[in-house]
Structure 1
Amino acid sequence: MTAIDWRTKGFFNPGPPIPDEDFIAAGHGLFDGAFTYPLMIARQAALDANVATMAAFCARHGLTFAPHIKTHMSPSLVRAQLAAGAWGVTVATANQALAAHAMGATRILIANQVLDPTALRWAAAHQVMITVDSVAGAEAAGRAGPTVPVLVELGHANGRTGTRTLDELLVVAAAVHDHATLRLAGVTGYEGGLPDAGAVAAFLDRLREAAGAVAHLIDGDLIVSAGGSAWFDVVADRLPGALPDGRPVTALLRSGAYVSHDDGFYRERTPFNRLADQGVLQAALGVWAQVLSTPEPGLALIGMGKRDAPYDEGLPEPQRVRRSGGALEDAIGMRVTRMNDHHTYLSTGGMRLVPGDLVLFGISHPCTAFDKWRAIPVVDHDGRVSGVLRPHL
């Protein structure tokens, strides 16, 4: 049972623990005393719309979908993504794979090389698909026990993991194929660090070439996997479709940030900016924080810091002001200039703020937002709590 108690940041309950279900049933509003600040919220309508939009995109383009749940690590969102048609889920670590299994996911892909023997034995026992980019990685996986499904990773110069050449990939693929306890399932890559659509397309073409080069080593489905949240339109254009020899492939997309979207990094980079006729994503997250001090003209110190909101891919965006009497105003001309652990420096842009006012901030880069909270109230259109997200790890 999950419950709201003294450990639950943003919620304010000095009394006995309150089960999540009872807290939700009480129908609390954001400003009726059940919360303190800062407080991250999630908008139910935006979450629902984003899950549906991405499911429809994948169905339209012949993509199998394994969303990367590192973004949120939340059981209720995993269930929503699977219910919308996701094939399975992608994770970054063995701990996240363990959590995904506990959340009910039966198909799990770890999109990194796993070298820990304990984690590999568990992954093998549960048929978790793993990624390798070296003979050493293949040999470590081969000692895990039962047959392990494996994707071999292709990378690119100055990128993250993955073999840098097709020849290197073929050596690793052969090592996987020749090992009695490994099953080569296909190839994978990550295009998110590339600078433009042309470079992404060229890399994905190399990935399909790699799939063709290892196809003779694979019985059954041949998986070709890619896809962050910035170039999934190019993935949809280049990965699906049979190989030149007619061999069908399963094009497996792994995008994750879409589920909550944001008001910064992905707002500027989402492929739906280029695909206006195929849907839009909505920012689902926000942080309400309180004005603590207005020590000099044009400056307000906000009770929100690096422990509460992401700052690695853009600073939070002030959007609305709520006065002590409940009146709402647009945060015109305001901008965040810097953040400390527990303080945000807000240039007020000519607006007058007083201590006790609340400011709603949009966030940038959701992958470093959920991990700062262990409980996030989900609110409906009128600000009433309709659920509680419980991010893990």
Structure 2
Amino acid sequence: MDRAKVAALAEERLDWRFKAAPAAAWGRSTAEYLAGGPTLDDLGTPLVTLDAGALEHNLATMAAWCAEAGVGLAPHGKTTMAPALWLRQLDAGAVAITLANLPQLHVARAFGLRRIHLANTLLDPAGLRWLSAELAADPELRFASWVDSVRSVELMAEALRGAPAPVAVCVELGAPGARTGCRTLAEAEAVARAVHAAPELRLAGVSGYEGAIAHDATPDSLAAVGRYLDQLAELHQLLLEADLFETAEVWLTAGGSAYFDAVTERLAPLGTDRTKVVLRSGAYLAHDDGFYRSISPLARTTAVPFRSALHGWARVVSQPEPGLALLDGGKRDFNFDLGYPEPQLVRGGGQLDAGKLQHSRVAAMNDQHAFLREAEVAVGDVVRLGLSHPCTAFDRWTLLPVLDSADAELPRVVDLVRTFF
């Protein structure tokens, strides 16, 4: 990445456009504001923050896990859409950043990212021609996207006819009832042969997403994931033996944040000097206090688990009836697609107290409020909330304060992370 462009984010002026930035920060750069030593008490609510210690722990833990397992990591950048965090992942050993659509590619190239894996099929003609021009202009740019039908191959080839550089693609294998991807090995082979025959494209690997196969860690779900990964391995071997791959390095890639242990177990043995087995886990960096906490491979084993780096903060603004408190943060502020926020502790009267929330729960949410039940709180108290599913947390905030420790009595703001959604 272009380190200078990432570093320049610290010079961006803060103002009313960033809902996490208090009025006291307006007109100052990020660097100037941080130099003043702000604390959590200087920020308003509702708010979502990151925890510096948890981020560092998760970066190091995943890097060590991949190194020991002998697999590469191209973390899904769509989770955070934060170039500063992408750079930290690359510095920790990631071989590329995975993205999901054309606007995200535009952000990546604006910050000079040169190793990009698009976990999607890019069919937009203007986007393909732009990408081809980027590839021609930057010999160090490495890119591959997905394709799962002969028709898609035809459309891509047509859009790229006469373009300055070919585009690399991976054949995607799916499963019945799942998301995208060829449904059979025969179909996938036909797509691979169509790519091989198109001079505008280069066959660069085999891809898939096992997270679309299952959504829990029951024995039946783990078995279904295993069967799918075996098919992915079979497809790779089939195309390798048919000599259809056209790039010096071939990727065999799968692995979200729920089953990367199974991916490694089934696919890592296929790695060679040419074949690179690459995980695409993205949620590990921020982790969560919900879905991924329950399903992460490191939570299902004796390994050191990831730590949640994401927290919501909301203030009690009303207690209209016994047992009910209304918080000033709702669906516009906190993610809720894989579970409501989890009440964790209360900041009030200069003290932290988790006991007041022992039997509490967020029972409902609307646009700007959360309905907190059975909590021992008072109007004015600030409640820390654990969040589930980081992929839908970052996109609500263009700026996320990073705290030295969300568990501290008075957390210090040590960084501000800029996102681009």
Scaled by the length of structure 1, the TM-score of the pair is: 0.95
Structure 1 stretches of 4+ with a deviation exceeding 3 A read none
Contact 1:133 1:163 in 2 (8 A): yes
Aligned ranges for residues 279-358 of structure 1 at < 5 Å? Answer: 279-323=304-348, 325-330=349-354, 331-349=357-375, 351=376, 353-358=377-382
Q: Once superposed, what is the RMSD of the aligned Cα atoms?
A: 1.5
2:131 is aligned with 1:131: no
Contact 2:132 2:167 in 1 (8 A): yes
Aligned partner of 1:293: which letter? S
The 1:16–1:71 alpha-carbon spacing in structure 2 relative to 1, beyond 3 Å, is closer
- Matched residues in 2 for 1:104 and 1:275: separation? 38
1:88 to 88, 96, 121: 96
Q: Paired residues, what number?
A: 385
Contact 2:49 2:402 in 1 (8 A): yes
The 1:313–1:82 alpha-carbon spacing in structure 2 relative to 1, beyond 3 Å, is same
2:367 is aligned with 1:367: no
Q: Structure 2 unaligned runs (5+)? A: 1-10, 136-142, 215-220
Identity %: 44
- Matched residues in 2 for 1:91 and 1:152: separation? 16
Who is 2:140 aligned against? none
Q: What are the superposed Cα offsets for residues 28-59 of structure 1, whole Å, 9 maximum, x if unpaired?
A: 0010x3x2110111001101110111111111
2:18 is aligned with 1:18: no
Contact 1:240 1:249 in 2 (8 A): no
Who is 1:163 aligned against? 182
The 1:212–1:369 alpha-carbon spacing in structure 2 relative to 1, beyond 3 Å, is same
Q: What are the superposed Cα offsets for residues 107-137 of structure 1, whole Å, 9 maximum, x if unpaired?
A: 1011011110111122223342111111122
2:132 is aligned with 1:104: no
Who is 2:217 aligned against? none
Contact 2:14 2:25 in 1 (8 A): no
2:31 is aligned with 1:4: no
Q: Structure 1 unaligned runs (5+)? A: none
Secondary structure of 2:23's aligned partner: coil
The 1:372–1:137 alpha-carbon spacing in structure 2 relative to 1, beyond 3 Å, is same
- Matched residues in 1 for 2:362 and 2:12: separation? 35
Q: CA deviation at 1:211?
A: 0.7
Who is 2:48 aligned against? 40
- Matched residues in 2 for 1:106 and 1:134: separation? 27
Q: Structure 1 stretch 14-23 or stretch 334-343: which is displaced more?
A: 14-23
Who is 2:172 aligned against? 153
- Matched residues in 2 for 1:163 and 1:123: separation? 24
Q: What are the superposed Cα offsets for residues 161-213 of structure 1, whole Å, 9 maximum, x if unpaired?
A: 00101111111111100011211001101100223111111111100111111
- Matched residues in 2 for 1:302 and 1:169: separation? 51
Secondary structure of 2:287's aligned partner: coil
Secondary structure of 1:241's aligned partner: helix
Aligned partner of 1:120: which letter? L
- Matched residues in 2 for 1:191 and 1:9: separation? 36
- Matched residues in 2 for 1:366 and 1:136: separation? 34
Secondary structure of 1:172's aligned partner: helix
Who is 2:284 aligned against? 258
